[in-house]
Structure formats: C-alpha cells, structure tokens
Amino acid sequence: MNILKEFSLKPYNTFGINVSAEYFAAFSTINELKELINYNPHTNSNKFILGGGSNILFTKNVGGLVLKNELKGIELIKEDTHYLYVKAAGGENWHQFVLHCIKHNYAGMENLSLIPGNVGASPMQNIGAYGVEIKDVFESLEALNRQDQSIHTFSTNDCEFGYRDSIFKRKYKDQFVILNVTFRLNKVPAFNTSYGAIEQELEKMHVKELSIQSISQAVINIRSSKLPDPKIIGNAGSFFKNPTVLLKQFKSLQNTYPNMPHYINDNTHVKIPAAWLIEQCGWKGFKKNDAGVHAHQPLVLVNYGNASGEEIYDLSEEILQSVKNKFAIELEREVNII
C-alpha cells in the first residue's frame, strides 16, 4: 500500500479547489481496496471514496483516508437477440467508455457523451442528458460492502433510481463502493433526437443518415458550446437540479411569467429549468472574486482560479435564497458538498 500524507486534492476535483487529504491512496484491484478499507492510520477511520471528482465541491480539508478508484476494464460479457451486455469497471472514465461503446456500435449511450466523471459514479447519480438516463441502459452493478467486504449485486429495482438520485445517495450512502456496472445496450439503435438542440445541430452538421456516431458528435458539439471545460475553468457541470412543482403552483407562476419554459411530468407535476429561474434572478455571468456563475449557462457555478469551496458554496446559498424569494421554489443542489 502506497499511502501519502497531506496530499493535495486540487488535481482530483474538477472545481480545482485547493484542499488536502490527511491520507491518500489509490486502488486498482479489489484486494487493494479491501486492504485500504481495513487500514486505520489513527483514530479517524473515515474513508472517502473518490472517483472522477466531477460532482464534488470540497469546502474543507478531508480527514482520514481518501481512496481513489482506479479499477479498470471493459468487456462484452454476453449478448442475446436484441441486446449486448457490457461491463465496465468503476474507475473507467465515463466519456471514454461511451466512445468505446460507439466505436463498437453498441447503441444507447450516445446521448450521454461528454459527461465528466467515472463509470462508478454514474448509477449513484443516475446521470442523464438529452432525454436519456442511466436507468434506461442499466442492467446491474457489483458493489463492495464497506463493513464486511462482501460483494453484492444490485438490479435496476434495487438501485431505486430517481431524478439524479439512487439508493446509494440515501439509504446506502457511504456504505458501498461500486466496483463495476453492466449496461444493456441495443444491437439496433433507437435514435433519440427530440431533446434539446440535437436536431438543429445535426442539420448544422449536414447529417444525411442518422447514426449513433453522429448523435454523439452532435451532443459533444452542443455541450462544448454551452459548458465550460473544467481543464480551463473549474466547475462541476450542472450545480442545481431542475425543480418539479405542482401544476397548480406552475399555473399561478405562469400568470406572472407567461414565457416560463417548462416540461409536463404528469397530470399534477411540472418541471421548470433551474437555469431559467437563476437567470431571471440576475445571476447569469455574476462574478465575485474568483467564484462565479457561467456567462453562457447559469446552471454552472465556476472557479475562475483561486476560489475556495466556501466561496462557491456561499454563492450557491445566495442563489438558492433569491430563487426562493422570487418564485417560492426551493432549488436543490446536484453537486455533493464535502
């Protein structure tokens, strides 16, 4: 075991927050993970599992032992008449895994291109984009119980997927380490181009014949034009979830804001874009010291250089309060606060 002390986590979180881990180690095998979970450097036995660092805001140094997931491997484990079942280790980079699937004509992942982070975090967050969520392509996952080091298999139902949510963020928070995820992908593509600006981007690309490759490239183009690259400007993508309100409340708001964008969830609920709410409160392009709101996408909070996690968190608090005051809607953070 190679355990490092007072280790900087700045390169390991996409916000680029300069905090340190009291102890730090990486694991690339399940046996290494088990050894590290059992290792107690002192009375603080806290173990924090770190993936791609793309959905985290560090507001302080991390006590105990930070464990970096570097489990690797992608394999086609079986296939049937309609589907291909592909297993990916938790430490694989998500976008590179999506590109692997597209290269091999495994359909279903194309709308999830260019999402930052690792495979292991994808079911925790039930990541989604452009009309597709993990639950739509999910088959199962294997996870290590941190208490007794037993390995459990979780089905779709076991995971209790919700909007940017799963059982691993609630009942089983900090109890399991996701080792690998198996995805059920299509042999024959079922193209999904109705969400967002995909169709317009495909037209701009002069695509004559739809393919998973062209849809992936369209999504990459759109995300690249709207979202800042974390390698250039520190960020964790969408900081807030899109809120869902009762139809009655939406109708009342619509009287005041007739142009309010919305998506009908069901007969009683409506989803409203958090970006629109934030922009209406005047936050788009806001900057205070090095903490700010992105100029093109108000859903994204950014670190322009040396912002602290506390500064970004405080900014998010101000945004939450202003949206609540103006619209009587409580936004919820999508990013995990540490």
Residues 52, 155 within the same domain: no
164 shares a domain with 276: no
How many Cα atoms within 13 Å fall on the side-chain side of residue 62?
Answer: 30
Co-location of 88 and 186 in the same domain: yes
Residues 242, 124, single domain; the answer is no
CATH of the domain at 277: 3.90.78.10
Helices (H), 12-107: 30-38, 94-103
Instruction: Indicate the residue among 182, 204, 226 that finishes a domain.
Output: 226
Active site residue 334: yes
Which entry of 22, 70, 164, 166 is annotated as an active-site residue? 164
Rounded-to-integer distance, Cα 160 and Cα 58, Å:
27
Residue 153, pLDDT score: 97
Q: What is the pLDDT of residue 265?
A: 78
Q: Which residue has the tokens 């874009």?
A: 273
Q: Based on the fold, state whether residues 175 and 91 are members of the same structural domain.
A: yes
Pairing of β 128-129 and β 132-133? antiparallel
**Are residue 181 and residue 305 in the same domain, yes or no?**
no
Per-residue exposure over 244-254, b if at least 16 CB sit within 10 Å of its own CB, e if not: bbeeeebeebe
- Mark whether 115 and 200 lie in a shared domain: yes
Q: Give the pLDDT of residue 156.
A: 95
Answer for the pair 325, 259: CB distance below 8 angstroms, yes or no: no
In percent, how much of the chain has pLDDT > 70? 98
Are 98 and 59 found together in one domain?
no
Examine the domain organization and report whether 123 and 239 are in the same domain.
Answer: no
Last residue of a domain, one of 15, 36, 69: 69
Total domain count, the chain: 3
188 and 311 part of one domain? no
Give the model's pLDDT for residue 44.
58
Which residue, of 20, 51, 69, is where some domain finishes? 69
Whether 112 and 189 share a structural domain = yes
**Looking at residue 62, which CATH number applies to its domain?**
3.30.43.10
Active site residue 70: no
Domain that holds residue 329: 234-337
Q: Residues 70, 110, 311, 334: which is the catalytic one?
A: 334
SS3 content of the chain, % helix, strand, coil (to 5): 30, 30, 40
List 113, 140, 238, 316, catalytic entry: 238
Same-domain pairing of 219 and 292: no
Global confidence as pTM: 0.86
CA angle 131, 136, 142 (to 5 degrees): 135
Q: What tens digit of pLDDT does each residue of 127-181 get?
A: 998 889 999 999 999 999 998 999 999 999 999 999 888 999 889 998 999 999 9
The segments of the chain whose pLDDT lies below 50 read none
pLDDT at 208: 87
